[in-house]
Chains A and B, each alone.
Chain A
């Protein structure tokens, strides 16, 4: 079946609370011909929007009318629902001779022989043609399962090289150059909204696209590539006659056009669904690789001083980071990892609760290329992470990867920061026990340990201790133990635990507000310390980058999140923004209402995208993700304040198109200026006067023709 149209009253975005479902008419399609026919026959009063996995938190995903579903996320075992996923027409059918010759002349080494990062070594790649509804996890699994899943192009290239020392060079496995923190979205859904990783030497995901097949309102369809002279290797990707042979007569009398134009190409890649339906795209993939992930705890004041030092992050964080104040273990590290390569990734995760120095703990995560050889990368001759995350039965169906060394430790939460909030609360039970034990000792001995949780969370100074402090602590101990036991006896998420904590501690009449805040801050700091604890491990790139827990069913509807983009060359401005939102959290905790946020701030760095309205619009861009668990009292206010501040013209931050995006037309125009004009011109050219993909969101944000 290539098209199934039906109505539902349960349409929603993945992150919406279940009560916010909508009535909708869905057109699930997996064939080009059906996309074209549907759009050719569109009645003038009917609007469409193409959607993938409903992963977006943005209103950009909403249609004024019906939906075109490229990968309907529900009823996943139903084979009758068409999903536009997997490999599309093989590249061997359409590749140009000059590109094919280039690939024959530049065969990649076998992955085991890689000593330099294939994502930065730009000569070796393979173009693969994927249907637009292919999920990221599905795609990296497909690419990793070569040679079983070799494309015809790879086989043809291998045939040309069979008597050469590079025989089987195109057997793969292959990989994406970069990924965001989750692989659940469709590849095109992610890249067309500006999704990125934290690889600061690389561009966002949209810049791996080499061509797209677009169907616009009215049914016209276009094969779109950048101008060959502007591409890295100055080569035309496809052959016109072959393209015409395959696509010109898909639906008779519906025009098909080949376009090689930079502006049109870079408009459609980050097109936010306004251009029509992309049926398929060609992506540049590279030989499979492993990554070493390295994480250490530090403090925001210390990290901020590095960011403000006048040196670029690429320079400051080039080598593995160690924090002198929280235990510098570099000697031990270099014994285990004698030759770490140059770092290419940076994430700075911040604890929202201040610590005793009125500072904030930071988790510094770095990643760098690791060859697919040796015990660190391989286990029983299989790259680490493949069985757990990339195999047919685990890709998109498993928890985030944990190195085997961690598996016996139940207290270690999943790797994705967003999901830590929602993870099973067992981790929290351990923290609460630890805090309760320290409090018991304090009550029994009458002294506070110098290097304990309390001093770390509160600091030593001139604070005031209530005369009834021991009785207060007893009340706190009882509350903490009750919550810990509740966690152990029921399936409680970490978010629910935080709510219990605030209820039992903050609203406990026996605990004065000041002491309740002290205690909660200590606990939050201890939780963060556990979440961002030191770690070093090696695994396949996708197992490291995609930290999503695909088994979670409770977390995602409960998260409020924004991503805002700043110029990384202006650290005093974006660090001020971070301090401003941390200040808001301090204020709401200390004000009369005593609201708390359960969430995090993270900073990641990327290169500018070539896409015209990609939010990564600076040569070096820093992306701040601010996410919080909706159910906790202060979370929504916290995220909304962060959004309002980011919109202030002094900060002037761009917003991710796939996350909460409140921008108005004039703000979008201020951000993108002349590039938006070129984007609109491309929209004019491709859509003419048709408005079938116009929506309330595109009109509000000015993503409309000139």
Chain B
């Protein structure tokens, strides 16, 4: 059972099983129950101090919902913030343990768990064409003439105070 706190969006992102798949929620303010979900479906504003989420599947043999085995994985994504992926393996007892029958992604709605990074981020990398070696194509812009190089070195020496020797 996965437990999260605060306000979250729960989104179905994968379903490979034939049987109906969904989640069971307990402990939330207004979203308790079993929800059948298809990839792309999402539940918004799922709120509570201790929300319990389980992956369930509909077993046609018993004509009833049953709890899947599940794995949980937190991940911080710079584009989103804290995420929780819950992956289910249905047909418990006879499952294939690949945990891809049904997967949901929980995404935070509270600011503290959202990414503080603003996009697009500045790109600080150096273009390949300026790097010495195989990718080198052209000198850096504003490259100095021989005369300017000499003046530069002189100016550096002059502008930096030196320790008395």
Contacts and interface: CB of A to CB of B under 8 A. Distances in A.
A460 B125 contact: yes
A570 B116 CA distance: 24
A259 interface: no
B132 A447 contact: yes
Interface string A411-439: 00000000000000000000000000000
B124 A587 contact: no
Given A450-B132, A458-B124, A587-B117, A442 B140 contact: yes
Interface stretch (B11-19, B36-44, B92-100, B156-164): B156-164
Interface in A548-598: 570, 572-573, 575-580, 583-584, 586-588, 590-591
A583 B76 contact: yes
Nearest to A473: B140
A462 B121 contact: no
Contacts of B130: 446-448, 465
Interface residues of A toward B: which range?
35 or more
A450 B126 contact: no
A591 B117 CA distance: 8
A420 to B, nearest CB: 25
Contacts of A590: 117-118, 121-122
A626 to B, nearest CB: 15
Interface stretch (A104-112, A344-352, A645-653): A645-653
B136 interface: yes
Interface string A473-501: 01001100110010011000000000000
Nearest to A651: B82
Interface stretch (A36-44, A175-183, A514-522): A514-522
Given A514-B124, A650-B113, A485 B140 contact: no
A484 to B, nearest CB: 8
Contacts, number: 165
Given A470-B143, A471-B142, A650-B4, A583 B117 contact: yes
B76 A580 contact: yes
B147 interface: no
B112 A648 contact: yes
Interface string B104-126: 00000000110111100111111
A466 B122 CA distance: 13
A408 interface: no
Interface residues of B, number: 49
B114 to A, nearest CB: 10
A443 B152 contact: yes
A469 B140 contact: yes
A459 interface: yes
Given A465-B141, A584-B116, A450 B78 contact: no
A448 B149 contact: no
Contact of A474 (B81, B118, B136, B156): B156
B126 A448 contact: yes
Contacts of B5: 648-650
B127 A463 contact: yes
A462 B127 contact: yes
A443 B143 CA distance: 7
Contacts of B78: 579, 583, 586
A394 interface: no
Contact of A466 (B75, B141, B159): B141
Of A461, A488, A517, the most chain B CB neighbours within 10 A belong to: A461
B30 interface: no
A449 B4 CA distance: 48
Interface string A627-645: 0000000000000000011
A463 B74 contact: no
A279 interface: no
B143 A446 contact: yes
Given A450-B133, A649-B49, A650-B113, A356 B163 contact: no
Contact of A467 (B75, B122, B141): B141
A237 interface: no
Contacts of A448: 126, 130-132, 140
Contacts of B6: 648-650
Contacts of B162: 485
A447 B139 contact: yes
Contacts of B155: 474, 478
A455 B117 contact: no
B144 A514 contact: no
Nearest to B106: A650
Given A446-B143, A650-B5, A464 B132 contact: no
Interface in A528-551: none
Interface of B: 4-6, 49-50, 72-76, 78, 81-82, 112-113, 115-118, 121-128, 130-133, 135-136, 139-144, 149, 152-153, 155-156, 159-163
13 contacts: A447-B139, A448-B132, A463-B126, A463-B127, A465-B127, A465-B140, A470-B144, A478-B160, A514-B122, A572-B75, A576-B75, A579-B78, A583-B76
Interface of A: 356, 440, 442-450, 454-455, 458-471, 474, 477-478, 481-482, 485, 488-489, 514, 517-518, 521, 570, 572-573, 575-580, 583-584, 586-588, 590-591, 644-645, 648-650
